[in-house]
A = this chain, B = another copy of it.
């Protein structure tokens, strides 16, 4: 296959993926969506590491969380920062790219090269904006299945991801279990709770309150809703950190001063940190993508109103679940709910709650307890299939 370049037909199109960076795959057929439509001309951007072996049995799919992207093990083309799981993935690392072919796709609806709300709507020649269809986690995974098909891979050795990535892992295991040898949904949940929805709705309203959002059509203007998106990021970021982590990192310490300024400056370190998180986020993320992806997460309920175990009947996939004690976004109880369902379906499942004070973000950070557990799983499934 010849990966097409991202379209640059319309001057209004502003993909955040720099021209020529990364790999792009144009899907051969329209993508069926949960809303009943079929989306034509879908492009999925992806990165891969290592080489696919002769019998195509060594492929590991990594699913990225909400605000990450396909640059999981290589430097980010916008920020220049190392891949978000570069500690785990690479030559000689836990997920050894001398052994495995690792692939990560930018989700459908994303802003790093995959088709999303900032892509050009062929009917108008302008970016879709809110004319882009509202998508679901299952839609995202359907796009990934098409990529895996295009690569000629029958069965994935493993699908691994944390947070929203874990939700995609669950959709893979529930919808395409016969193509998933092993699945590791980490720090995640099988549905969005009303509290999860509430925080996302705050973020969406912050974006939509920004006049520069222009009813979603900011690509046709010289502005982007950076202020609203920054506020959304700040609100979300608080949910990624535990109270303990905030106490350890910041406490009530002042930033660059000895006493209160009696002003609205960022007196406290935690304020300064949050403002920085908000400001830096807008350089690498698109506001409409943020709306669409958070919406997909809020719609996520793997059970579809039936007992959750019914989604895993006769599964042969080997599961690893891990949660973190201080994660209050997707707390351990949500993982336990999945584990109970998997047990109910007679699945091969291993579950560990990892002691950590780092909150939800622990799965992205240097957390040896998590590394040990994931490493054990990677070793075990590699041996089971004679790959190592």
C-beta contact mask, A166-199 vs B, less than 8 Å → 1, else 0?
A: 0000000000000000000000000111110111
- The reply to whether A260 and B205 contact each other, CB–CB distance below 8 Å, is no
Which residues of the other chain, B, contact A194 by a CB distance below 8 angstroms?
A: 243, 246-247, 249-252, 268-270
**Selected A-B contacts with CB under 8 Å, 13 pairs:** A194-B246, A195-B246, A197-B268, A198-B271, A198-B274, A201-B270, A202-B238, A204-B264, A205-B234, A208-B264, A209-B230, A268-B298, A328-B328
Cα(A228)–Cα(B227), bound, Å = 11
Closest chain B residue, CB of each to CB of A249: B194
The distance from the CB of A360 to the nearest CB of chain B, in whole angstroms, is: 13
By Cβ-Cβ distance, the 8 closest A-B pairs, closest first, are: A209-B227, A194-B246, A134-B262, A35-B262, A194-B270, A194-B250, A201-B271, A198-B238
Cα(A270)–Cα(B193), bound, Å = 10
Q: Does A219 contact B (CB under 8 A)?
A: no
Q: Does A221 contact B (CB under 8 A)?
A: no
Cα(A249)–Cα(B197), bound, Å = 14
- The reply to whether B274 and A291 contact each other, CB–CB distance below 8 Å, is no
Which residues of the other chain, B, contact A251 by a CB distance below 8 angstroms?
A: 194
- The reply to whether B130 and A201 contact each other, CB–CB distance below 8 Å, is no
Which residues of the other chain, B, contact A227 by a CB distance below 8 angstroms?
A: 209
User: Given B197, B231, B246, which contacts A193 in the complex, CB threshold below 8 Å?
Assistant: B246
Cα(A311)–Cα(B187), bound, Å = 43
Cα(A201)–Cα(B252), bound, Å = 13
C-beta contact mask, A122-136 vs B, less than 8 Å → 1, else 0?
A: 000000001001100
- The reply to whether A202 and B234 contact each other, CB–CB distance below 8 Å, is yes
Cα(A328)–Cα(B278), bound, Å = 24
Q: Does A211 contact B (CB under 8 A)?
A: yes
Which residues of the other chain, B, contact A260 by a CB distance below 8 angstroms?
A: 134, 299
Cα(A201)–Cα(B299), bound, Å = 28
Cα(A252)–Cα(B191), bound, Å = 9
Which residues of the other chain, B, contact A191 by a CB distance below 8 angstroms?
A: 252
The distance from the CB of A275 to the nearest CB of chain B, in whole angstroms, is: 7
Q: Does A235 contact B (CB under 8 A)?
A: yes
Q: Does A263 contact B (CB under 8 A)?
A: yes
Q: Does A301 contact B (CB under 8 A)?
A: yes
- The reply to whether A197 and B270 contact each other, CB–CB distance below 8 Å, is yes
State whether A197 and B298 are in contact (beta carbons under 8 Å apart), knowing that A231-B206, A234-B202 are contacts in the complex: no
Q: Does A210 contact B (CB under 8 A)?
A: yes
Which residues of the other chain, B, contact A34 by a CB distance below 8 angstroms?
A: 262
Which residues of the other chain, B, contact A130 by a CB distance below 8 angstroms?
A: 264
Which residues of the other chain, B, contact A210 by a CB distance below 8 angstroms?
A: 209
Q: Does A316 contact B (CB under 8 A)?
A: no
Which residues of the other chain, B, contact A5 by a CB distance below 8 angstroms?
A: none
Closest chain B residue, CB of each to CB of A242: B195
Q: Does A295 contact B (CB under 8 A)?
A: yes
Cα(A184)–Cα(B230), bound, Å = 39
Closest chain B residue, CB of each to CB of A208: B264
Which residues of the other chain, B, contact A208 by a CB distance below 8 angstroms?
A: 264
Closest chain B residue, CB of each to CB of A204: B264
Cα(A10)–Cα(B130), bound, Å = 44
C-beta contact mask, A260-292 vs B, less than 8 Å → 1, else 0?
A: 101110101111001100100000000000010
- The reply to whether B199 and A278 contact each other, CB–CB distance below 8 Å, is no
